[in-house]
Amino acid sequence: MANITFKNVVKTYDNGVTVIPDLNLEIRDKEFVVLVGPSGCGKSTTLRMIAGLEDVSQGELYIGDKVVNNVPPKSRDIAMVFQSYALYPHMTVYKNMAFALELRKEPKDEIDRKVREAARILELEPYLNRKPKALSGGQRQRVALGRAMVRNPAVFLLDEPLSNLDAKLRTEMRSQIAALHKRLQTTFVYVTHDQTEAMTMGDRICVMKDGIVQQFDTPQNLYNYPCNVFVAGFIGSPQMNFLTVKVEKSGSGCVLVFGDTRMPVSQPELQGYVGKEVIMGIRPEHILADEDSLTKSPQAVFTAKVSLTEMMGSEIYLYMESNGQKMLARVPSHFHFHTEETVRLAIDMSKIHIFDKETQKIICRA
C-alpha cells in the first residue's frame, strides 16, 4: 500500500517562516494526485517532505501505515522526477537509467531487462547509446521518467517535470505520463502551477494557497463546484468572471442587480444578503451571444463595450467592460464583434456562482 497521509503537518524554516501551517491530506494508493497553486503556495515543499528532502517540523507523515518523519529518502521507496531532468551528462541514456540499479548491486541481466523494458514503453530504444546533450527536451524528460520507472517505486513524485518543454511537447508528455500511471498502477504525486495540466491529468487535484489546502476534489467538481473565489478563479481557462452585484428583494425571491439588469434568483440562501453586495461568478463560456438566448432570457441580458477581440479559431475571446467592471466572454467565431462596439449578451443563469464578498466563500449556485 502506497497511500500518503499528512496529519497536522507543519513546515517552519530555520528563519522562523512557516510555509505549511497545518496540513491534513490523504492521497490514496495508486491515485494520481496533482498539487496545484501559484508560486509560493507550498506545493513543492509538500512534495519534498514526501521525498524526505525537507524535514517535517511538526505532525506526522505516513507512507502506507508507517510514519516516515525520520526515515531517510533512500529508504522511502519513492522516485522523484525533477523539472531540470538531473541527468548525468557523461553517461549514456542506458547508464543513466541503470545507475540506481547498479548502486543496489542488482544482477546485470535483471538491470538490462528493466532498462530495456522501460526504454520500450517510453520509446527510447533508439537513444540508449546517446548522451543527454544529443537528446531533445522531451527525450531527456522521458529518460528521467525511465530512470524512475526501473526502480519500481511505490510512489512517483514529479516536480513540474514539463515546465521546460514547448507547448506541443507538453501536451504529448501529459498524455504519456497519464498513460504511464495507468500502466504502472502506482501512486503518482505531481506538482504544477499549470491548471490545464492539473485538469487533464489528475484523478484528484489539491488546490493550495499560502500553504493551506483550499479544496481537494476531482477536476469536474473543482470546475463545477468551487468552494471559494480563489478556487473558482484558479480552475478554468480563461478564468471565471467575478462581478459585484447587489441583492434586492423581489416578491418571494430576490434579484441580482447589475447596472440596469435585474436577474431573478430563487436561492433561499440569498435572503440574508438582501441590501448587500455579493460576488457573482460566471465563466466566459456561459456568457451567450446567440439571438435565441437573448430572446429567451431577457432579464439576464446586459450591454457591454468591447475593448479587445482575440480570434482563437473556433471561438473569439471578447474582452469587455460593463457597468465599470471588466469581463471576458468566449463566443463562437461566426459572431463578428469589433473593438469599441457595444454588444448585447446574456448570462446563463443556470451556471452562476454566488460568493460572499467578505469571506469569498461560496453562498450558493444556480
Instruction: Give yes or no for a contact between 355 and 362, defined as CB atoms under 8 angstroms apart.
Output: yes
What is the pLDDT, as a whole number, of residue 351?
96
DSSP category for residue 3: -
Dist CA 280 CA 200 (whole Å) = 27
- Residue range 143-202, pLDDT digits in tens: 988 888 888 889 999 998 888 778 887 888 888 888 889 888 899 999 998 888 999 999
* Count of all residues that appear for the chain in the document: 366
Q: Where are the domains of the chain?
A: 4-230, 241-365
What is the pLDDT, as a whole number, of residue 1?
67
Dist CA 32 CA 92 (whole Å) = 30
Express as a percent the part of the chain with pLDDT over 90: 74
CA proximity to 20, closest of 44, 36, 2:
44
- Residue range 226-244, pLDDT digits in tens: 999 999 999 998 999 999 9
Q: Mean pLDDT over residues 321-332, rounded? A: 96
What is the pLDDT, as a whole number, of residue 251?
86
What are phi and psi for residue 52, nearest 5 degrees? 90, 10
Give me 132's grid cell.
543527454
Lowest-pLDDT choice from 35-44, 111-120, 174-183, 260-269: 174-183
What is the domain class of 241-365 according to CATH? mainly beta
Q: Do domains 4-230 and 241-365 have the same CATH topology?
A: no
Given a cut of 80, whether residue 353 has pLDDT beyond it is: yes
Instruction: Give yes or no for a contact between 145 and 81, defined as CB atoms under 8 angstroms apart.
Output: yes
What is the pLDDT, as a whole number, of residue 37?
93
Provide the phi-psi class of 340: left if phi over 0, else alpha when psi is between -120 and 50, else beta. Answer: left
The chain-wide mean pLDDT, for the chain, equals 93
What is the pLDDT, as a whole number, of residue 253?
87
Express as a percent the part of the chain with pLDDT over 70: 100
Q: Is 260 exposed, middle or buried (0-12, 13-18, 19+ CB in 10 A)?
A: exposed
4-230 fold? Rossmann fold (3.40.50)
Find the angle CA(178)-CA(183)-CA(185) to the nearest 5 degrees: 90
Per-position DSSP letters for 223-246, written without gaps between them: HHS-SBHHHHHHSSSSPPEEEEEE
Residue for grid cell 430576490:
254
Q: Is 339 exposed, middle or buried (0-12, 13-18, 19+ CB in 10 A)?
A: exposed
CA proximity to 8, closest of 28, 24, 31:
24
